[in-house]
Structure 1
Amino acid sequence: MARDQRRSVPPDGERSGARRDLNFTRPSLARVYDYVLGGREHFEIDRRAAHGFLNVAPESAQVAKDSRNFLRRGVRYLVGEAGIRQIIDIGSGLPTTGNVHEIAHEIDPTVHVVYVDKDPMVLTHARAMLGDDDTTTVISGDLRAPETIFDDPQTRALIDMDRPFAVLLSGILHHVSDKADPFRAAAEVSATLSPDSYLLISNFLDEDPRAKDLERAFLDSVGSGRFRTWDENRRFFEGLEMVEPGLVYANRWRPDADTPVGNQVETLYVGGVGRKV
């Protein structure tokens, strides 16, 4: 999700009210990415965690930006070309430039969007931002337990699962450990799709020589971040028909004038969109 206006952040430990349930003693993935993307909603512990991988490869900050750009292009395709009018964004994260619902509504303001996250700060910001928008909502849910998402009453109120819809898994499956079985989670998400629905996925790729060092840095700093092979990333789309150009480096997926094709971190990140036939 995103927001154009930024406000200053009180010193660590001085937040109250709706934020009393936040954990400031360990890094949050949402806040770490917010810092890397130039946001303001992060703490010293998140900044230290981010530098755990930025110190290994300073250029890796571009991966986060490429991820967001791929997501935006994917949403424009889904709404503008594929005709999707219902979207579930799982692991939506903290504000950055360009919300999924804003991008979708530029094409059709009737598109329904359900944001899903489990980070209290994300939920607080999203609810404040969305207000009484009757086409968009945010719920607390966990990809590892898909029923917390697809059986949620708010999801059911906005998404007609008998009609085509899209699920976005942008930059989240690589934060699901092998032990937690991300392939099962992706398969369960695919199983919920009605015919002509779509699944968008983007992930870290284990091809570049830097990948192993970055994986260790992510695991040490934020506790997750698996760089998987091409074959492993293809497994996430099993049973789906791939939209052209298939699973590719994310910057090579339908690039536009703002896509930095061929940049120095392009080989660290893949993306694709599959359709339920």
Structure 2
Amino acid sequence: MTTNPAGRDVSAVIDVTKPSVARVYDLALGGKDNYESDRVVYRQIMEILPEVPEWAKENRRWLQRAVGWMAREQRIDQYLDLGAGLPTAQNTHQIAQSENPAARVVYVDNDPSVIAHGRALLMDNERTDFAAADFTRPAEVLADPAVKETLDFSRPVGLIQALVLHHISDLDEVVAYQAEYLDRLPSGSCVAISHACNPRDGSEAATLAATFEEKFQPHFPSLRFRTPAEIATLFGDLELVDPGLVRLFDWHGPGIEVDDTPADHYRDAASRFLVCGVARKP
């Protein structure tokens, strides 16, 4: 049984018969906050993509590099993490506050599992808050008391969107949501995005991505893999910093040597499964 800080059974307010994206991802990271419905889907995923645990961890390592770069090189000391997921090792606030103890972070998610565990994690951190909100409603997110009281939008903000935007099916809708967020960001802000990719070029990677998307459509109907060109539109008019839109393990920040060799156990097709980038608002 999973409980929140008050001892309340979280499963009493969560439909444990339906898999949760956040819990399945947490399972890939070795987490314990999952149910049999999540484990069934995870086992099916592993049959198609046994590299899932490694790229889930690599996404966290990319997040660590990206937030660390924003904190050190761009001097950004406040972050808005949309679709944050279940807390795990090296969360955004831990990364940012290891560089600058005064850094402020607001997490946003509307998954009941995330809300319960996210708030528990942040109980003793006065510079970090949680907004139980739907990130596809930018006006509501930006008006949420947790966001308004914690972040100062007259100064640069780091906007984090790690593996969340591919859970909105309509590209035009995503671009519209993004435009609202990007418009609110002041000069000097940065946007960090990681996203599931289907190059749609007839390659093995394209076939693998299409198989994955089709297989899990019944469980996650809004899941959409996108081409690199489509993903690039999610940064709006902002210019991507070096090395641009690349595979997760190829992003090390401007001026830092890139190791473009994935782990030995990656299939080449699987190495192209996720891409990422960071852009800066002039």
- TM-score normalised per structure 1: 0.89
Q: What is aligned with 1:3?
A: none
Q: Identify the match of residue 240 of structure 1 among 223, 228, 238.
A: 238
1:10 deviation in Å? 5.6
Q: Identify the match of residue 161 of structure 2 among 144, 169, 192.
A: 169
Q: Identify the match of residue 25 of structure 1 among 5, 13, 17.
A: 17
Q: Which amino acid aligns with 1:251?
A: F
Matched residues in 1 for 2:99 and 2:271: separation? 28
Matched residues in 2 for 1:74 and 1:166: separation? 10
Q: Deviations over 1:12-60 (max 9, x none)?
A: xxx9445532111211111111111110000000111222322222223
Q: What is aligned with 1:262?
A: 262
- For the residue of structure 1 that corresponds to 2:64, the secondary structure is helix
Identify if the C-alpha distance between structure 1 residues 55 and 70 changes in structure 2 by more than 3 Å, giving closer, same or farther. Answer: same
Identify if the C-alpha distance between structure 1 residues 171 and 97 changes in structure 2 by more than 3 Å, giving closer, same or farther. Answer: same
- Kindly report the root-mean-square deviation, in angstroms, between the aligned alpha carbons of the 2 structures: 2.3
Matched residues in 2 for 1:148 and 1:120: separation? 18
Q: Which amino acid aligns with 2:60?
A: R
Q: Where does 1:95-110 land on structure 2 (aligned, <5 Å)?
A: 95-110=87-102
- For the residue of structure 2 that corresponds to 1:235, the secondary structure is helix
1:159 aligns with 2:151: yes
Q: Deviations over 1:83-107 (max 9, x none)?
A: 1001000111112221211111111
Q: Percent identity?
A: 34
Gaps of 5+ in 1: 1-8
1:147 aligns with 2:152: no
Q: Is the 8 A contact 1:89 1:167 kept in 2?
A: yes
Q: Deviations over 1:127-158 (max 9, x none)?
A: 11211422000111112111121111111111
Matched residues in 2 for 1:60 and 1:85: separation? 31
Q: Is the 8 A contact 2:28 2:52 kept in 1?
A: no
Q: Which amino acid aligns with 1:220?
A: P
Matched residues in 1 for 2:95 and 2:63: separation? 10
Matched residues in 2 for 1:148 and 1:157: separation? 14
Q: Identify the match of residue 214 of structure 2 among 213, 216, 226.
A: 216
Q: Is the 8 A contact 1:170 1:201 kept in 2?
A: yes
Q: Deviations over 1:238-261 (max 9, x none)?
A: 21021111111121111789x884
Q: What is aligned with 1:273?
A: 278
| Higher RCO (CA 8 Å, separation ≥ 6 residues) | 1
Matched residues in 1 for 2:260 and 2:8: separation? 40
Matched residues in 2 for 1:164 and 1:89: separation? 14
Matched residues in 2 for 1:10 and 1:250: separation? 32
Q: Where does 1:1-277 land on structure 2 (aligned, <5 Å)?
A: 9=1, 16-17=8-9, 19-178=11-170, 181-207=173-199, 208=205, 209-254=207-252, 261-263=261-263, 264=266, 265-277=270-282
Q: Which amino acid aligns with 1:185?
A: Y
Q: What is aligned with 2:202?
A: none
Matched residues in 2 for 1:185 and 1:62: separation? 30
- For the residue of structure 2 that corresponds to 1:251, the secondary structure is helix
